[in-house]
Structure 1
Amino acid sequence: MDISVKTFKIVSTLEAISFLVLLGIAMPLKYIWDMPQMVRVVGMAHGILFIAYIIGAYLMKEKLNWSWGTLAIVMLCSVLPFGPFYAEKKYL
């Protein structure tokens, strides 16, 4: 399976945005205004994008000859708000 850097950047950006929407919009709607529907929708989209990001990061390791340490940092960035934006700027 081959993935381009451009495709990984798109997945990375979408994953970051979905995480921020989940944390900043969907979670407050659920816990403050008792509207859990948004968490279901955004949470599912974010979950799929998160898995695509992790797989894409591994494929980028192979393609760009990243060290295991670089891969670990890029994967760690996936669980931090704004992390994928940092990984994109620094490693791609």
Structure 2
Amino acid sequence: MDIKTAAALHRLRLASIPEALSFPALLIFGTGFRVFLGYDKLVMPLGLLHGILFTIFLVLLLDAWNRTKWPFKRVAFFFVLAVLPFGGLYADKVLKREEEAGVIAARARREGTVNA
């Protein structure tokens, strides 16, 4: 794995946490306002914000898939995690391990410790 691939994984990690928290924090909060207080004006902007974060995550997932050459099952796994509330937190944990391993391997190749 090269540095650009590790950077793609890092960007995906950065998007996974806000996306993971946006569903429960924004949508449930907005829906609670609508149901309990009768205030509908928060649902649309909070839903839009969640949709934007989800779209950013998907674009970065496709970029990481292109760079890492993951099998489709792996990409589907991260997509399912993005759909589940708080699933992105687990995705962040998995991606962090993979990113760190990639950076270590790239540094070893650059320093000439590994012949690859």
- What amino acid maps onto 1:67 in structure 2? P
How far residue 7 of structure 1 moved from its aligned partner, in angstroms, is: 2.1
Find the partner of 1:50 among 30, 47, 54.
Answer: 54
Structure 2: runs of 5+ lacking an equivalent: 97-116
Q: Deviations over 1:59-88 (max 9, x none)?
A: 111222321101001011111100111112
- Give every structure 1 segment of 4 or more consecutive aligned residues whose post-TM-superposition deviation is greater than 6 Å: none
Residues 20 and 81, structure 1, Cα contact 8 Å, conserved in 2: yes
Superposition RMSD in Å: 1.8
- What amino acid maps onto 1:24 in structure 2? I
**Larger Cα Rg: Structure 1 or Structure 2?**
2
Report the identity percentage. Answer: 26
The answer for the alignment partner of 1:15 in structure 2 is 19
Q: TM-score, normalised to structure 1's length?
A: 0.84
Out of 46-55 and 22-31, give the one that drifted further.
Answer: 22-31
The answer for the alignment partner of 2:39 in structure 1 is 35
The answer for the alignment partner of 1:77 in structure 2 is 81
Task: Report which structure shows greater RCO (CA 8 Å, sep ≥6).
Answer: 2
CA distance in 1, matches of 2:78, 2:85: 13
Helix, strand or coil: the match of 1:14?
Answer: helix
Larger helix proportion, structure 1 or 2? 2
How far residue 91 of structure 1 moved from its aligned partner, in angstroms, is: 3.5
The answer for the alignment partner of 2:94 in structure 1 is 90
CA distance in 1, matches of 2:47, 2:75: 24
Residues 16 and 83, structure 1, Cα contact 8 Å, conserved in 2: yes
Residues 13 and 84, structure 1, Cα contact 8 Å, conserved in 2: yes
